[in-house]
Amino acid sequence: MVKNNQKFHNNLFVQQLKEKKLLVAAHRGISGGNIIGNTIPGFMAALQSGADIIEFDVIKSTDGILYIYHDGTEPFHLHVKQNIKSMSSKRIEKLRYYNSANFYSEFGIERLDNVLEEFAGKTLMNIDRAWDIFPDLIENLDQFNVKDHVLIKSPVKNQPLAFLNDFGRDYMFMPIIKKYDEIEKVQQYDRINMIGMELVTKSPEDRLFQDETVSEIKDLGFFAWVNSITFDNKHILYGGLDDNTSIIDSPDKGWGKLIDKGFDIILTDWPGLLNSYREKRFGGKV
C-alpha cells in the first residue's frame, strides 16, 4: 500500500485504501440510457453505484479552454468527424452528445472547471488523457483546492515526467507502465509525487502480469492500479482479466483474480457490479 506523506497531500488516498481494501474507479463515470459518460450526470451515477474514484479525460480547445472529453470518439458520441482538439470553445459549446439509443440529448461537453466545482472535496478523481497539456492542466487545477483529491497520470515519457519533476508539483501522480523496465525508469524522476503505478499488458506471459511484479511495486511503497474495462477482443488491457469475463463468466475469474494478485484499484465500466462483488468478497459494506 502507498506510504503516507503529509507534505504531498496523500492522506485521503491512503485512508481510503486502508478502510476499503479495494478501490473502485469508474471509467468515465457511467454511460447508459440517457446518462452520458464523461459528464456530471455520468459521474453522479457512478458515485451512487458505489465508485470511489471517477476517471475522466481532459482536452484543450484551440482558444485554451479545458473540457472533459476523450478525443477520437467524436463520430460515435457527437456525430461529427472533426477532432475536438481542433475546435474553438465556441464550436465545442454548441455540441451535444448522442445517447446510448443514438438519440440527440440535451447534454453538452463539460468544462473541467464545472466538474471540479461539482466534485471538489466530494470524491477522488483520476485524470487520464491530459499529459499533452500538463502545463495548462496544472494551472487550471491550481485554482481549486483539489491536491488531495486529484490523481494525474501519463505514459513513461520524458516530456510530461520532466515537466512534473522540474516544477516539483505535488499533485498525486501515477505512471502507465507497459514495459517492466519502466518501473525503474520512472523512479528516476524523484521530485514527482508518485504514489502508484498502472500496469498494462496483453499477455499473461508478460512479466507485468506476474504476481511477483505487483508485489514488487507494493513493496516499493506504491499502490497497484489495473484496468478491467473491455474495449473489444483485440485491445486487451491486462491479460484478459476484464469486465466481460467478470460478468459473463464469473467475477471470481476476472475481478477476483485481480484482487488475488494484489491490485489495490480496479478501473471498470461496471462500478455497481464491482462494488457488490467487493462487499461480498470482503464481508459486507466497506
115 domain residue, yes or no: no
At 6 the pLDDT is: 47
**pTM, rounded to two decimals:** 0.95
267 domain residue, yes or no: yes
> What is the rounded distance in angstroms from the CA atom of residue 54 to the CA atom of residue 38?
9
Round the average pLDDT of the chain to a whole number and report it: 94
Give the count of domains, the chain: 1
Reported as a single tens digit per residue, the pLDDT across 81-130 is: 999 999 999 999 999 999 999 999 999 999 999 999 999 999 999 999 99
Reported as a single tens digit per residue, the pLDDT across 33-54 is: 999 999 999 999 999 999 999 9
At 253 the pLDDT is: 98
Reported as a single tens digit per residue, the pLDDT across 154-167 is: 999 999 999 999 98
Phi, psi for 35 (deg, rounded to 5): -95, 130
286 domain residue, yes or no: no
Helix (H) or strand (E) holding 76: helix 74-77
Reported as a single tens digit per residue, the pLDDT across 131-179 is: 999 999 999 999 998 999 999 999 999 999 999 999 866 899 999 999 9
- Residue 130: which domain range? 6-57+122-281
CATH number for the domain including 237? 3.20.20.190
- Is the pLDDT at 4 greater than 70, yes or no? no
91 domain residue, yes or no: no
Other residues' Cβ atoms within 10 Å of the Cβ of residue 3: 11
C-alpha distances (whole Å) from 31 to each of 36, 241, 256, 270, 280 are 5, 21, 24, 10, 25
Residue with cell 457488490: 276
Reported as a single tens digit per residue, the pLDDT across 172-200 is: 999 999 999 999 999 999 999 999 999 99
Burial class (CB in 10 A: 0-12, 13-18, 19+), 165: middle
Residue with cell 488523457: 129
Angle at 20 between CA 16 and CA 23, to 5 degrees: 75
- Is the pLDDT at 286 greater than 60, yes or no? no
181 domain residue, yes or no: yes
pLDDT band at residue 9 under the 50/70/90 scheme? confident
Strand-pair partners of 124:
53
DSSP 269: S
Asked whether the CA dihedral 23, 26, 29, 35 is positive or negative, the reply is negative
Q: Are strands 196-199 and 53-56 parallel, antiparallel or unpaired?
A: unpaired
Strand-pair partners of 197:
224
| Assigned C-alpha cell, 260 | 488475488
Q: Indicate the residue type of 58.
A: V
DSSP one-letter string for 214-235? HHHHHHTT-EEEEE-----SS-
258 domain residue, yes or no: yes
DSSP 208: G
